[in-house]
Amino acid sequence: MMINRDPNSGAGTGVWRSPRLDALRGAAIVWMAAFHFCFDLSHFGWLRADFYRDPFWTGQRTMIVSLFLLCAGLGQALALAQGQPWRRFWRRWAQVAGCALLVSLGSWLMFPRSFISFGVLHGMALMLILLRALGPRLTPAACLLLGLAAVLLPQWVQHPFFDTRWSNWLGLVTRKPVTEDFVPILPWFGLMLWGHALGRWLLAQRPALLAGPLPAPLAPLALLGRWSLSFYMLHQPLLIGALLLLQATMRA
């Protein structure tokens, strides 16, 4: 398989990267940055758009989060197939969880009434543990069925108990919380399970789709995909800072 060794993985870990998967994750990053830039323009009053109710924007958010979680499931399938040790898993998990806490703090400073208590990084941190525990014990078909159940269950089961910030992380809410980002376990864990099932199937039946060479023009996307967490944490402070500077310059 033509999969590149991760230079940060250390010797003997058996962890390798797929440039094609990195490029797919990089594409999600670019889409997310463009979406957030438009959101920031709206926040500063330079773009008239309703990011909370307009299907054009809410649909994009759903597709971006879905793509991230599918990539995460694919990545875990690749890591487990190559024997990723628990030590490396927990090191990466700690980075995701730590960044989730920083997102909560930063959003509280900017949006105190709608800060992010369980957004995409919070959800991914918990979902990665669930997938790491369940993935090796499930067949790809079982992953698909369990993922379908995770996606459908919130449509059938809701209760007011799950409407608080301390309980809405499960996803069985009767109303969406007032927050800038909300990615609960249900239904979103279903997308990660589907990505895991797809990754397992590709590794068994179509490994060349993951391991084939990446066209040179897509190399920048693969680079972004390899540093997706760093980009995620930096892009909004940089975008908002640039817009604040532009705003100050225009007023001067």
What pLDDT, in 10s, does the model give residues 122-160? 999 999 999 999 999 999 999 999 999 999 999 999 999
- Residue-wise pLDDT for 40-67, tens only, equals 999 999 999 999 999 999 999 999 999 9
Q: What is the pTM of this model?
A: 0.90
Up-side HSE of residue 93: CA atoms within 13 Å toward CB?
17
Which of 48-75 are b and which e, b meaning 16 or more Cβ less than 10 Å from the residue's Cβ? eeebeeeeebeebbeebbbbbbbbbbbb
Structure tokens at 30: 């670019």
- For residue 251, name the pLDDT band (cuts at 50, 70, 90): confident
Q: Across the strands, what pairs with 176?
A: none
Q: How far apart are CA 5 and CA 40, in angstroms?
A: 37
Q: In Å, how far are 67, 218, 226, 239 from 214, measured between CA atoms?
A: 19, 7, 14, 29
- pLDDT score of 16 more than 80: no
- For residue 210, name the pLDDT band (cuts at 50, 70, 90): confident
Q: What is the pLDDT of residue 1?
A: 38
Q: What is the pLDDT of residue 3?
A: 46
For residue 162, give the H/E element and its range: none
Structure tokens at 221: 């996307």
